Structure 1
Amino acid sequence: MPLPAAFIAELSALLGDGWRVDPATREAHASDDSRGHQPPEAVALPSTREQVQAIVRACRAHHIPIVARGAGTATTGAAVPVSGGIALSFSRMNRILDIRPEDRCVVVEPGVRNGDLQAALHAHGVFWPPDPSSFESCTVGGNLATNAGGPRAVKYGATRDNVLGVVAVTGAGELIRAGGAYTKCSSGYDLTHLLIGSEGTLALIVEATLKLVPHPHAQAGLRAFYRDASAAAAAVSRLMAQPVQPAMLEFMDKRSLALLRHNGSAVPDAGAMLLIEADGSVDGLPDTLAALGAAAEGDGLIDMDVAQDGIARDTLWAARRALSPALRTIAPGKLNEDVVVPVSRIPDLVAGVEQLSADYALPIVCFGHAGNGNLHVNILYHPDDPGETARANNALPEIFKLALSLGGALSGEHGIGLAKRDFMPQAFDAATLATMQAIKHALDPDGILNPGKVLPEDCQAKC
């Protein structure tokens, strides 16, 4: 639907060259790292929170949808403007406002890239724990929107665990503040953690106070190979049940290892592999490493080696980071969903995925953050083959059904977006969905913030 002339004139005057309607800019904001594609009617690039407020108020007055956007690395279609309207890019709100190592926090705008933030913090001897695979390009705002995680989440937590406070603009155009530069608070409702992971459907975060952690003095990695996925999954349960917590704990199945070998990595022919990282003090690291190594031992262990120097560790983790892009060498089509289950149910999840791979005659590659029970299940197919495409789309609901049957959830770090929205009634009962709907209505009374995402359509129609 064309935008009203009065609305265009208002935002043009407000934003100047930060208001774009040219086809190239609209197309650049039409999709994210999913299969979704829909150009917005216009793109707004605000530089201040006041401009964000004015944009939201204008959109509310004219009933125009707003989709907030970071770097577009989301995989669920959360940043696709499926209802048209405007895409609100935070690319110009990219300042690190205040680094406060004495308070173990940093204050940032949402457009700051995760990698740039980590580089700025390094000189202060601290880091922000969330480290998704797209950390070099993804923005803090995107991390906040999806509650992003990464390998370090097993020890340091995901984004929600590492945010102390936010300033945000609601769907009514009101500026709200929650939390601050402190780690303990028992004052009112926890709006900070409510907004983290809400995918821009409740409010637009314009500032965040992030919790920082000192860099460990020493790090080392273990690489353990197992007879099969069940043996590796059982080792994950042992590793997470003992007192010493790994800094990272990643799982790769047999197909993952075959793909690594195909791409030149030196890994043996095994049924599964665990990448285990330890960090801590120089004096304490050997004991930590020994405890993790002892827990990794057990039935089905084939081999285990240690990577203590920086080059060896970098090589070990480079193979893990290269895995997802390399999947395209098996088949050009990929359905990548990150389900999560209790750690004790990982063996059942892996066994279930292997059975689905056989049932649907498709390669399904399974790897990810085993220490959190958060695995990435990749269904691979050829889009030009109608039979494979149909089987892939039919297998996807079975993956979600399997995770939920094991006491898990639809997503551990990617979010719901558009891709998983219609499965929400399987994950939550009617009363819980109604509560979510009520929260949505309270913060976004006209339903203009990222409509069509997270909540199923029948819930959104009632908002």
Structure 2
Amino acid sequence: MSLPTSLLKSLATAVGRDNLLTRAADCWPYGGDNSRLHAPPQAVVFATCTEQIQAVVQHCRAHGVPLVPRGRGTGTTGATVPDQGGVVLTLERMDRILDMDPDNRLAVVQPGVTNQALQDAAGHHGFFWPPDPTSAAYCTIGGNLAYNSAGPRAVKYGTPRDNTLGLTAITGSGHLLRTGVHTTKGVVGYDLTRLLIGSEGTLGIITEAIVKLTPLPEAKRTLQAVYTSMTAAAQAVSRIMAQPVVPCALEFMDGRAIDMIRHYSQAALPEDAGGLLMIEVDGPEAGLDAAAQRVAAAAAGEGCLEVALARTQAEVKALWATRKALSPALRTIAPKKINEDVVVPVSKMPVLISGLEKLGSSHGITIVSFGHAGNGNIHVNLLVDPDDTEQMKAADACLKGVFDLVLGLRGSISGEHGIGLVKRPFVAQELGQPALALMHDLRRCFDPDGILNPGKGLPPLPDRAT
């Protein structure tokens, strides 16, 4: 079923004919993300300003047509897949930094600005924006906000929710909404800024963001700690996070991950390595060596094979090359792997790691774990072949076991990848029906006709009468 001609004419008037795609071949690339999911959009709209987005929302609402916003499509959960058809609104051309205000430690940006472009612009003034996903060179600020994607620095500097002062957004009813403040304090009204961040475009489409900037650290120290087992490494994470010096990065790899990247690594790795921590400490040059030694002392302990402190930039590069080699190695070995990002309290990481080993063994599934250990955010990779029916049945049971384990440890089924389509069936298990019902009510307040990214994030409610 094609879109109404009257809607297409209205969209062309709103954004210009050159910013509207309707041919199937032209629209196809905008039907997927970094998951294996894809659905062809019926039209693709490129917006360049808030007023255009407001008009697009109003036209789609008038015709009852789904509207799916997207950035560069680096998400992994299918949150930008138009599985119910309709119009995809891509924000990649809204790529201007509207204001760089180092005196007040903030910047105002459009959603299509890449993370790296913001880091580079802020860096010229001696600042940075703390969220730093692995895809920073390509992913957009709008996408970072939609998923609350953070990266390694979140352990010390927080997530987008902690580093965003205010937003401009268009709700599903077509109203322009301004939230938050230009100051570091503000308590007038409800915190709609944090509510919109992480909502995956289901409440409103973010068109501008006021982001907090942080001064660049004077210096850094990089360490690598190697352990006999994943459990020993996880126990070390708890020790590191229990002492006063907070690392700016604390990354984790299990034994299988180490084996995969051994031949790619520029740093020597012991043959019996069962777990590895990449640790970075930043701050003023004065006293930083002492701070790094304090972290190194916490990293050492039972099961620790070695703790190495990089002394030169070449050594720093070699250590981080070990971590950066992992994703390409995983894509080569299992290009269609299942990648989940779960979170547990840091003190529960040893239990999580032990439980993952048991689940992989009992279901016959190879599990490779790595991630942001400093805040308990672990990427659990199930190396499977989707074309193997029996293996996928085992993977489904294993994945359910992973989520049961995480929730039993008072964790969450997603730390920064979001929900989208992939994790939607598991959301009610974490939230419970009262909270889920309230969220559905909130969604209707923002989007009364349900046109914004329908079918994403929240699972349907059971009959309330039952």
What SS class does the counterpart of residue 305 from structure 2 fall into? strand
Cα deviation for residue 388 of structure 1 reads 2.0
Distance change (3 Å), C-alpha of 1:461 and 1:94? farther
Give per-residue Cα distances to partners, 1:393-423, cap 9 Å, x unaligned: 3221211111111100010111111111110
Letter in 1 for 2:270: P
d(CA) in 2 for partners of 1:221, 1:326 = 23
What SS class does the counterpart of residue 33 from structure 2 fall into? coil
TM-score (norm 1): 0.97
- The equivalent residue for 2:359 is 356
d(CA) in 2 for partners of 1:333, 1:11 = 37
What SS class does the counterpart of residue 80 from structure 1 fall into? coil
Q: Which residue of the other structure, out of 423, 426, 430, is the alignment partner of 1:427?
A: 430
Is 1:310 aligned with 2:310?
Answer: no
What SS class does the counterpart of residue 216 from structure 1 fall into? coil
- The equivalent residue for 1:119 is 120
d(CA) in 2 for partners of 1:315, 1:325 = 16
Cα deviation for residue 328 of structure 1 reads 2.5
- The equivalent residue for 1:300 is 303
Cα deviation for residue 48 of structure 1 reads 1.1
Cα deviation for residue 229 of structure 1 reads 0.9
Is 1:249 aligned with 2:258?
Answer: no
Cα deviation for residue 461 of structure 1 reads 11
- The equivalent residue for 1:214 is 215
- The equivalent residue for 2:350 is 347
Cα deviation for residue 383 of structure 1 reads 2.9
- The equivalent residue for 1:267 is 269
Cα deviation for residue 263 of structure 1 reads 2.9
Cα deviation for residue 459 of structure 1 reads 6.7
| Aligned residue runs from structure 1 range 66-145, under 5 A | 66-145=67-146
d(CA) in 2 for partners of 1:460, 1:55 = 33
d(CA) in 2 for partners of 1:319, 1:95 = 34
- The equivalent residue for 1:195 is 196
d(CA) in 1 for partners of 2:341, 2:88 = 26
Cα deviation for residue 116 of structure 1 reads 1.3
d(CA) in 1 for partners of 2:151, 2:277 = 15
- The equivalent residue for 1:452 is 455
d(CA) in 2 for partners of 1:177, 1:460 = 35
Letter in 1 for 2:286: D
What SS class does the counterpart of residue 457 from structure 1 fall into? coil
- The equivalent residue for 2:172 is 171
Instruction: State the 4+ residue runs in structure 1 displaced beyond 4 angstroms.
Output: 459-462
Give per-residue Cα distances to partners, 1:102-150, cap 9 Å, x unaligned: 1111100000011111111111110001111100000000000000010
Unaligned runs of 5+ in 2: none
8 Å contact kept, 2:40–2:82: yes
| Aligned residue runs from structure 1 range 142-153, under 5 A | 142-153=143-154
d(CA) in 2 for partners of 1:71, 1:418 = 18
- The equivalent residue for 2:294 is 291
Cα deviation for residue 264 of structure 1 reads 4.3
What SS class does the counterpart of residue 194 from structure 1 fall into? helix
d(CA) in 1 for partners of 2:373, 2:294 = 18
Cα deviation for residue 15 of structure 1 reads 1.8
d(CA) in 2 for partners of 1:167, 1:49 = 8
- The equivalent residue for 1:7 is 7
Cα deviation for residue 78 of structure 1 reads 0.4
Identity %: 52
d(CA) in 2 for partners of 1:148, 1:25 = 29
- The equivalent residue for 2:413 is 410
d(CA) in 2 for partners of 1:318, 1:330 = 18
Letter in 2 for 1:321: K
Mean CA deviation greater in 256-265 or 65-74: 256-265
Letter in 2 for 1:369: H
What SS class does the counterpart of residue 35 from structure 1 fall into? coil
TM-score (norm 2): 0.97
Give per-residue Cα distances to partners, 1:416-439, cap 9 Å, x unaligned: 111111101110111100111111
What SS class does the counterpart of residue 370 from structure 2 fall into? strand
- The equivalent residue for 1:443 is 446
8 Å contact kept, 2:168–2:209: yes
> What value does the CA root-mean-square deviation take over the aligned residues?
1.5
Cα deviation for residue 273 of structure 1 reads 0.5
8 Å contact kept, 1:220–1:309: no
Cα deviation for residue 2 of structure 1 reads 1.3
Letter in 1 for 2:9: A
Mean CA deviation greater in 323-332 or 150-159: 323-332
Unaligned runs of 5+ in 1: none
Letter in 1 for 2:104: D
8 Å contact kept, 1:332–1:383: no
What SS class does the counterpart of residue 76 from structure 1 fall into? coil
Cα deviation for residue 233 of structure 1 reads 0.6
Letter in 1 for 2:435: T
8 Å contact kept, 2:421–2:455: yes
Cα deviation for residue 310 of structure 1 reads 2.5
